[in-house]
Structure 1
Amino acid sequence: MTRTGDEVLEYPIPAPGALDAPAEWAELQQRCPVARAKLPSGDEVALLTRYADVREVLSDARFGRQLDAPDAARVSDTESGGLFNSEMSSALPQSGEGHKRWRRLLNRWFTAKRVAALRPKVEAMAEQLVDEMVERGAPADLKAGFGFPLPVWVICDVLGVPTADRDRFSRWSDTFLNLTRFTEEEFTTAEREFFAYMDEHVAAKRAQPGEDLLSELIPATDSEGERMPDRMLSATGLALLIAGHETTANTIGKMVAVLLADRRRWERLLADRSLVRTAVEEALRFDANSGLGMVRYLHEDVVVAGTELPRGTTVMCNMAAANRDPSAFEAADEMDLGRSPNPHLAFGAGAHSCLGQALARTELQVTLEVLLRRLPTLELAVPVAELQRLEGLVVGGLREVPVRW
């Protein structure tokens, strides 16, 4: 059926399989690049699926993620609207000069040099996790046994928080990222508990600094000579904990699953390990299950793809669809492990692009290097058709990644 600008799509759009892209993406790109879509909250957004349009809006510094405006769309079906309307979001500057200063403070930590220094630790942890998986024996859930604990350990190390608290972080993060499962009371309880934990952690780091990001941020000053308020420090810790383990943990599982779904991909990497870096980038581009997308709130009228969007519109930028746009990528629906260049939008673009993308890339590269070396016979323990998506989250993922070797 041909889509029209008057039809309102249910969003997220269902996919035929856990690793598959919805057929509607191609149709929207061809016939309806600015579509009307309804979120789980019932609120409506303007949905963008073309690469050029998504990149344009994400790169436009005029538009931020300030979804606390009365006319902004609520992402989740809770009364407040969930993650993007949370106290954490309001405590962090979402646009303008304040956002730039906040990012500059954090960028001092997420440098290539700092991330490279972490790599031996990440490799050692990955080796340990494989040892534990082998000891327990096959079949195993790669997500639970490797994909989740690796990035949790890494981000806990970065923030100087105890890895032993990871179950609490997971529970709180799941509540923040879920679109439909939790009530407003459950969300506010999780937010209050998470903030109380991080407030206490920041106070402890102020009294006794360590070699971690928060210990460096506490005394740091921005270009205006100002320091982060305590609430912003706590919100920064929350944001990094949520982004630093949920997204990467799910991406590890999806990356390995898509490589094993067609055995020729895994065999090609076994034959040529130099492809690991480009394979990681292609797995990020090819990911059809990356979650909701990025939202933007328009503070002024703007024209996108010939469509006038008025001030007050909430825009949903679907990066996964954009990464499959044939006008931007040759053979966009094919996975090419050697694709280069690969200007995908998996980490966003512009002022709000992912702060920790260098760290995420390192974790994904280490994952492949260690698994290829230690478990060359790795394969899915179930047919691809039996893999199941995680439903109802802002981020995309698989419930399990059953493997054997």
Structure 2
Amino acid sequence: MSQNRPTLSYPLESRTALEPPAEWAELRRGCPVASVRLPSGDEAKLVTRYEDVKQVMADPRFTRRLSADDAARLTDSASGGLFNSEIAKIIPDGGEGHQRWRRLVGKWFTAKRMAALRPRMAEIAERLIDDMVKRGQPADLRAGLGFPLPVYVICDMLGVPAADRDRFSYWSDTLLNLTRYGDAEINAAQAEFFEYMSTHVAAKREQPGDDLLSALIRESVVEGEGLSDMELLVTGMGLLVAGHETTANMIGKMVSMLLADRARWERLLADPSLVRSAVEESLRFDANSGFGLPRYLPEEAEIGGTMMPRGTTVICNMAAANRDESAFDHADQMDLDRSPNPHLAFGAGAHSCLGQSLARTELQVVLEVLLRRLPTLELAVPADELERLDGLIVGGLREVPVRW
């Protein structure tokens, strides 16, 4: 069937910012491996079924080598975007090199470490809500809470000044560009980001602190198996981007989804023990998660009953897979105590999101504090008037107007 369907423009559009594109259900039913045209004009294959997406993400034949000559470019910018850029080549794609990197960096993102950070996260959330209340209502929850909290946390972890958060946000956006920025702006911003992080890593070498980058530097000196200077630099840039951008957007989307149907918020107020499962369900139910994960196939492989030739670029749409009725009962309903909930929001396999414990903890803390501090919180505009954040590979909302 996928051979007979016309090529779709990707990313797919939806009617409102919180709703999935209508094509998701159609593709899962009749065209699980669909041809799509990317913003660059290149073609790729889109995978939308739960089992197929999970298989691609776990199968080492589907690699992250988007810099290959015959890989599809996501964007037509000369930089190639985040996945196609030279920066993407620095961290090893697989094998022992990738495992070494995950061992060194992953120890900073364990559930145990995140539990220790919980009081600090709650303290930051309390302060940000105080400031938001002082400024008055209506307020933009994304700007007042969703964006700054993850920035403060990741800046603490990396030992960089949170005062530079607006610069980080702009640099991150240019790295995550699809269609928003031109080449000149991207190149200038990335040069600034590269220089900033180079200076920061050099300063940590001279005067190490109690932070992730300092620890990685110490391990490279003492144990001799640490990261190279370039790996340290790119790790710092990558963690700064990933450590705040996706969670900042998810905070706004999660609160919007819960407030879009007042019964959901009231249920959490009545039973705060549901916060953890509500966070997981928000991650699963998110229809605005962004571009998805691209993978490159350096050899022939079959997926979803379709044989794909060498050189194929595959887009895994985890959000579409998370709405698959074959994997989740009543998949199009938000069930706050859904269990089990094996969603794919953080990926699967060897490349599953390193910072998922950090993201989960931040989302839980934000929701706990909001329920306690602002029980009368509500959207200040109808849910279908919320505007989607466009032009980047991450999904989000431009603003989350609220009152209380």
Normalising by the smaller structure, the TM-score range is over 0.9
Q: Distance in 1 between matches of 2:25 and 2:167?
A: 40
Task: Provide Cα deviations, 1:45-97, integer angstroms capped at 9, x if missing partner.
Answer: 11000000000000112322111111001112202321112232121112222
| Corresponding residue for residue 79 of structure 1 | 78
| Corresponding residue for residue 349 of structure 1 | 348
The DSSP-based 3-state class of the residue aligned with 2:314 is strand
| Corresponding residue for residue 238 of structure 1 | 237
Does 2:340 correspond to 1:358?
A: no
Shift of 1:221: 4.8
- Is this contact kept in 2: 1:293–1:316, CA < 8 A? yes
| Corresponding residue for residue 30 of structure 2 | 31
| Corresponding residue for residue 310 of structure 1 | 309
| Map 1:6-405 → 2, pairs under 5 A | 6-221=5-220, 225-405=224-404
Letter in 2 for 1:396: G
- Is this contact kept in 2: 1:88–1:238, CA < 8 A? no
Shift of 1:384: 1.1
Q: Distance in 2 between matches of 1:138 and 1:251?
A: 22
Letter in 2 for 1:96: G
Instruction: Identify the range of structure 1 (239-248 vs 55-64) with the bigger mean alpha-carbon deviation.
Output: 55-64
Q: Distance in 2 between matches of 1:136 and 1:261?
A: 24
- Is this contact kept in 2: 1:74–1:80, CA < 8 A? no
Q: Distance in 2 between matches of 1:63 and 1:226?
A: 27
Q: Distance in 1 between matches of 2:321 and 2:214?
A: 38
Q: Distance in 2 between matches of 1:199 and 1:345?
A: 34
Q: Distance in 2 between matches of 1:332 and 1:112?
A: 28
The DSSP-based 3-state class of the residue aligned with 2:76 is coil
Change in CA separation of 1:319 and 1:5 when aligned onto 2, cut-off 3 Å:
farther
The DSSP-based 3-state class of the residue aligned with 1:303 is strand
Shift of 1:180: 0.9
Q: Distance in 1 between matches of 2:155 and 2:86?
A: 22
Shift of 1:349: 0.6
Shift of 1:104: 1.1
Instruction: Identify the range of structure 1 (201-210 vs 85-94) with the bigger mean alpha-carbon deviation.
Output: 85-94
Instruction: Identify the range of structure 1 (328-337 vs 96-105) with the bigger mean alpha-carbon deviation.
Output: 96-105
Shift of 1:185: 2.4
Q: Distance in 1 between matches of 2:245 and 2:80?
A: 20
Instruction: Identify the range of structure 1 (184-193 vs 43-52) with the bigger mean alpha-carbon deviation.
Output: 184-193
Task: Provide Cα deviations, 1:340-385, integer angstroms capped at 9, x if missing partner.
Answer: 1100000011111111100100000001100000000000000112
The DSSP-based 3-state class of the residue aligned with 1:52 is helix
Shift of 1:219: 2.2
Identity fraction in percent: 68
- Is this contact kept in 1: 2:142–2:249, CA < 8 A? yes
Using structure 2 for the length normalisation, give the TM-score: 0.97
Task: Provide Cα deviations, 1:312-348, integer angstroms capped at 9, x if missing partner.
Answer: 1110000000000000000000000000110000001
- Is this contact kept in 2: 1:20–1:288, CA < 8 A? yes
- Is this contact kept in 1: 2:104–2:226, CA < 8 A? no
- Is this contact kept in 2: 1:61–1:96, CA < 8 A? no
Q: Report the aligned-residue RMSD.
A: 1.4
Q: Distance in 2 between matches of 1:226 and 1:375?
A: 48
Q: Distance in 1 between matches of 2:5 and 2:21?
A: 20
Unaligned runs of 5+ in 2: none
Change in CA separation of 1:298 and 1:3 when aligned onto 2, cut-off 3 Å:
closer
The DSSP-based 3-state class of the residue aligned with 2:108 is coil
Q: Distance in 2 between matches of 1:354 and 1:3?
A: 30
Shift of 1:220: 1.8
Letter in 1 for 2:313: T
Q: Distance in 1 between matches of 2:107 and 2:136?
A: 42
Shift of 1:115: 1.2
Q: Distance in 1 between matches of 2:313 and 2:211?
A: 36
Q: Distance in 1 between matches of 2:395 and 2:358?
A: 19
Q: Distance in 2 between matches of 1:96 and 1:193?
A: 32
Q: State the 4+ residue runs in structure 1 displaced beyond 3 angstroms.
A: 2-6
- Is this contact kept in 2: 1:41–1:81, CA < 8 A? no
The DSSP-based 3-state class of the residue aligned with 1:113 is helix
Letter in 2 for 1:276: V
Shift of 1:3: 6.6
Q: Distance in 2 between matches of 1:337 and 1:148?
A: 24
